[in-house]
Structure 1
């Protein structure tokens, strides 16, 4: 178990602290870089809350569990955290894992604020147990989310592709609810606008065979809907090394190029690959201050995921101060929350089809690494 230390460095096992559970991918096959950034943001915000007196004089304590991108492990962690008396559960990066955590938290009556996962159907039905057909718009829900739903972000990405003149889109994909959902969003948005989507199976094709298929189908863009670093890195190397595909655009909507590991593994080959990033064009004073602190702790530029972590705790701290630590009161508070986050004012509303209280809306950018300077990011499109 990992806990953020209290201001005194002691663990509060006597009930004097207010506990928050945190779900984070810290080991493989989880996306470890994303987990590290998310945890850094969560931990920094907890420390800042405690520096100004905690929650009505009680220290805020982060009780962390490693999900390792495993839905069953995440659900078991929610069980454990609920038993430890956490006021709420927060975090997670992987959408399929977050969905399992959300379902379990809802079943146990524990509020869950999802930091970074985007799958639309984070929970399958309204979280008060009422059937979708009978649910009222104001019905209480225990699950809320900061990241935008996939349908919103990936439609922005599809618009970027159209604006760039890319209409023959190939997606190389692996079996996953998340990748399948993304493919459907792209196809539904592109088809009425003259775009086509060709699916290629990453598990059935070698990188070289994939290149042949792209040439045969005349694809003008290839989107990487696959795991990182395998098989994403070998695919990028193969496509970059194939002269027949010199004009193809490689894209990674899920955000693989955001983290330093991408640049370290691919160098110049990893530049010019647009992806979704949830940051504003320009950070305000709060975002600038937090970004500086995150950079010092991480030893590198903070990703949008680190900012999502900080904003998660900022929201929960405000809820705990204003509405108390009772789980039902926290769940009732989502529609009344107004918090100044690092990326703008945060308010929640019901979004049809998601089953959650959703921040409407986080900023969305399409960004890539500059081919002339791969450590520098370029904003290509704003949603």
Structure 2
């Protein structure tokens, strides 16, 4: 009787329609620095992805197929990032990959995705060259973070608005720092300014007191520190130690929890570029942070921008999957990402048409906010911006002049 029953069950399973048999998940790759000095970015991005996947799977996934994350730790190391990119694309054969918080790691891995025509969504790294290396019309590389070209211009515009003219630059010697210095010099040049003083340092330093004394002695009236989270904290601490009260500016790395922790809170009042800030009066913003808190209890969040930009990117891919009408090949997904059927109301913004065949950067200059640290949390630098935050800043066309 047992053999008859077993045979009957087997026959029923084999004759069942495809949808009734085991459902194959849609595998999505993640490559982020989950350990080391950039881990606040990487782990926040990972949690952001997990929040999105949980939400999607709770309502049935993609046509009944759940999304499954295949997570890898690049340790902020370019060689490791390259190896993991090859693993996810060639061995794991994921549908798409989300990743990279460090520009140097991303740049070394890009060609793996491009050569194999595999979708890569860069959700943290900001180096201008990431989306410039390959022409968008042919590229499989997309990005939901703000490229350094617009971050540097945003900071210089703010400095000029304040009437400051003697700008000191304190920049690390990484690939990120090298590229950022070029963008800073170009942005200053467009304002008919030159760096008043420049100092360089290696990532991993514990103090910049001597460099800060030299920059203070130069007579500069503003400071831009260009580096990643922990070293941004070192810059802030050294500026305070030197008793130098000029305004400090920095890219999004200044907003990382590691910057706050390393500085012992001395980042307070520094100005930083942001695409999103905590805002309890914005429903999508507060809902996302509640979802984040169910997975991670860290306070403050390691990097809200990393988390939100990754969360939004997962949802943008899901919409592209529906727009591609069941074809999950990279060519179909690329076309769908470039030609969305409708807007997506995300955490960072409402994405009307984040990508096109001519532009693979979802963030334009008008979407940036000036943020700061206030009362141990990220906040809008200007109270007026906080009041205006409910007015969604949508992406401008590439031909339009970016405005704050």
Report if TM-score (shorter chain) is over 0.5: yes
Contact kept in structure 2, 1:24 and 1:65, CA below 8 Å: yes
Please state how far the C-alpha of 1:174 moved relative to its aligned partner. Answer: 2.2
Q: How does 1:16-165 map to 2 (within 5 A)?
A: 16-29=24-37, 31-82=38-89, 83-123=91-131, 125-126=133-134, 139-165=137-163
Q: 1:50 aligns to what SS in structure 2? A: helix
Query: TM-score, length-normalised on structure 2?
Result: 0.79
Structure 2 residues without counterparts, runs of 5 or longer = 1-21, 386-403
2:200 aligned with 1:201, yes or no?
yes
1:111-145 Cα distance to aligned partner (Å, 9 max, x none): 11111222121155436xxxxxxxxx7x3431111
Cα 1:328–1:170, aligned 2, differ >3 Å: closer, same or farther? same
Alignment match, 1:378: 380
1:337-379 Cα distance to aligned partner (Å, 9 max, x none): 2422222222234597xxx612153821111112xx3335232
Please state how far the C-alpha of 1:273 moved relative to its aligned partner. Answer: 1.2
Please state how far the C-alpha of 1:264 moved relative to its aligned partner. Answer: 3.1
**Whole-Å Cα distance in 2 between the matches of residues 273 and 126 of structure 1?**
35
**Whole-Å Cα distance in 2 between the matches of residues 59 and 183 of structure 1?**
43
Contact kept in structure 1, 2:252 and 2:273, CA below 8 Å: yes
Contact kept in structure 1, 2:23 and 2:65, CA below 8 Å: no
Alignment match, 1:263: 260
**Whole-Å Cα distance in 2 between the matches of residues 339 and 32 of structure 1?**
29
Alignment match, 2:372: 368
Contact kept in structure 2, 1:91 and 1:312, CA below 8 Å: no
Give the structure, 1 or 2, with the largest relative contact order (CA under 8 Å, sep 6 or more): 1
Aligned length: 350
Q: 2:376 aligns to what SS in structure 1? A: strand
Contact kept in structure 1, 2:25 and 2:67, CA below 8 Å: yes
Please state how far the C-alpha of 1:21 moved relative to its aligned partner. Answer: 0.5
The answer to which structure has the higher strand fraction is 1
Contact kept in structure 2, 1:25 and 1:93, CA below 8 Å: yes
Query: TM-score, length-normalised on structure 1?
Result: 0.83
Contact kept in structure 1, 2:273 and 2:371, CA below 8 Å: yes
2:378 aligned with 1:336, yes or no?
no
**Whole-Å Cα distance in 1 between the matches of residues 357 and 210 of structure 2?**
41
Structure 1 residues without counterparts, runs of 5 or longer = 1-13, 128-136
Moved more, 330-339 or 144-153: 330-339
Contact kept in structure 1, 2:317 and 2:337, CA below 8 Å: no
**Whole-Å Cα distance in 2 between the matches of residues 332 and 225 of structure 1?**
35
Cα 1:364–1:37, aligned 2, differ >3 Å: closer, same or farther? same
Please state how far the C-alpha of 1:310 moved relative to its aligned partner. Answer: 0.8
Cα 1:166–1:297, aligned 2, differ >3 Å: closer, same or farther? farther
Cα 1:339–1:140, aligned 2, differ >3 Å: closer, same or farther? farther
**Whole-Å Cα distance in 1 between the matches of residues 146 and 134 of structure 2?**
18
Alignment match, 2:12: none
Q: Considering only CA atoms, is the larger Rg found in Structure 1 or Structure 2?
A: 2
Alignment match, 1:241: 241
Q: How does 1:225-240 map to 2 (within 5 A)?
A: 225-229=226-230, 231-240=231-240
Please state how far the C-alpha of 1:41 moved relative to its aligned partner. Answer: 0.4
